[in-house]
Amino acid sequence: MSNIAARLINWQEQHGRHHLPWQGTHDPYAIWLSEIMLQQTQVGTVIPYYQRFLRYFPDIPSLSQAPLDDILSLWSGLGYYSRARHLYQAACIIVRDYHGTFPKERELIQQLPGIGRSTAAAIMVFAYGHRSAILDGNVKRVFSRYFGIDGYPGKKKVQDQLWLKAEESLPNGNSKKCHQVYTQALMDLGATICTRHRPQCHDCPLRSDCVAFKEKRTDQLPTAKPRVSLPKKETIFLILLKQKKILLEKRPDTGIWGGLWCLPEIHLEEDIGAYCTQHFKTEVRPLFNFPPLNHTFTHFKLRIHPRLLRITSQIDTQQEGKIWIEPDEALDKAIPTPVRKLIKQYVHSDNSINNTESV
């Protein structure tokens, strides 16, 4: 067994995490769900979503038969909604091609939507006890520091080095438990000890051989992503009121917030009154302008200008892809985080707005 593997296994059994809700199961569906939810999302945020999701969709067939809108609704607030769409697409493929049974071959798993090399390996390890190397964000950080690997891990050359070290560091033998404990140890060490900021090096079982620790470079490794100034965009969100209801529109299936319900969006230079007349066949009366709301995506920053408007003429409430809904009910729909914030802001200010209108 490699030196690093032996020390990590001993450390995990004493100091690792043992009570996460997806631990102690070999159900590939439950493991797959946890791995997808944990992509770019912290454990504490994931746990309630994971538990609720399994209550609604306890297996792959139930997930494949659910309306996508219900799946996105349960995912609402977790972000990176393409993960939920890929999860649904993969469930449908598993039911169609594998009779609802999660595949056991790594190559087949990796062909499913939303599953890359590291996620497929983690499923193979925890569900089937397979000897497979993983390389998620936490593990990249551990190996970058331990082996002293310079360069941004997102670059292919650096990532290839890390994969080589990940393969070389695997424990030998065919013990399923050994591979599972080792893999969990890597995840736990990165999440709790070898953290991005202020790593707890004196509690680390690998510190005696860690290049970054010995050279006092833990603040330099892994090499940070080259800074790129994110482009900025601006838009207007319309909060349209008809009595006590607001209007939501279904976003296209592809693109930002694909398949989610959203407030109507228009360009800054568009005339709001003309837009509402053309698209909703109604006249509106401005009520209130909420302060701008900033939201950051991976590739750009969005500044949202919310406009609160009252419908003042008859309107067709049966338009396809549009719903008039009570604000409290809207919060249970599949909506993006900025929309959720704006609806909550409107609910909080509703009384003062009504009082202003009555004056």
As annotated, the active-site residues are 35
Q: What are phi and psi of 238, to 5 degrees?
A: -100, 125
Q: How many CB atoms lie within 10 A of CB 233?
A: 12
DSSP 8-class letter at 267: -
Decide: 304 and 295 in contact? Cβ < 8 Å. yes
Q: Which residue has the tokens 């509703």?
A: 350
Q: What span, in angstroms and rounded, lies between the C-alpha atoms of 262 and 248?
A: 5
Contact present, 172 and 1 (Cβ < 8 Å): yes
Burial 8-37 (b: 16+ CB within 10 A, else e): bbebbeeebeeebebeeeebbbbbbbbbbb
The CA distance from 53 to 75, in Å, is 8
Rounded to the nearest 10 degrees, how much is the dihedral formed by the CA atoms of 157, 163, 169, 175? -170
Spatial distance between the Cα atoms of 246 and 326, rounded to a whole number of angstroms: 6
226: how many CB neighbours lie within 10 A of its CB?
8
**CA–CA dist 233, 230 (Å, integer):** 10
Cα distances from 92 to residues 78, 113, 140, in angstroms, run 22, 10, 32
Instruction: Find where tokens 């549009």 sit.
Output: 322
Q: Partners of 266 in the beta sheet?
A: 236
Take residue 151 and report the two structure tokens written for it: 């360069």
DSSP reduced 3-state for 285: strand
